[in-house]
Amino acid sequence: MARPLLPRESQSRSLFINTALLLWSFAISQDPLRPIDTLAIAEGVTAHPLPFAARFAPRMDPDAMKALLAEES
C-alpha cells in the first residue's frame, strides 16, 4: 500500500518548524581548533561550501529539558 504524500505547503512548513527548533535548541558556533575557511568552495555545476566543523552546544541543561518535557506530557 502506497503512503499518501503531503501537500508541498505542509512539507515546507514542517521543514521550517524543524529547522527553527534545531536553531532554538542549540548554540551553533565555529570550532576554535578548526576555523571555517570561508573561501573553500567546491567547483562544479553548482558552487557550494566544502564541509566544515561546527560545535553544537545545548542551550538548556539536559536535565532541565527532560523535566520540561515530562511536565508537558
Q: What region does 44 belong to: left with phi over 0, alpha with psi -120 to 50, or beta?
A: left
- For residues 53 and 33, give the distance between their C-alpha atoms in angstroms, rounded to a whole number: 9
pLDDT of residue 62: 83
Is there a contact between 57 and 29 (Cβ–Cβ < 8 Å)?
yes
Please measure the distance between the N-terminal and C-terminal CA atoms of the chain and give it in whole angstroms.
33
Domain range annotation of the chain: 10-31+53-73
Query: Which pTM does this prediction carry?
Result: 0.58
pLDDT digits (tens, 9 = 90+) for 14-63: 888 889 988 888 999 999 999 999 899 998 898 889 999 999 999 888 88
pLDDT of residue 34: 93
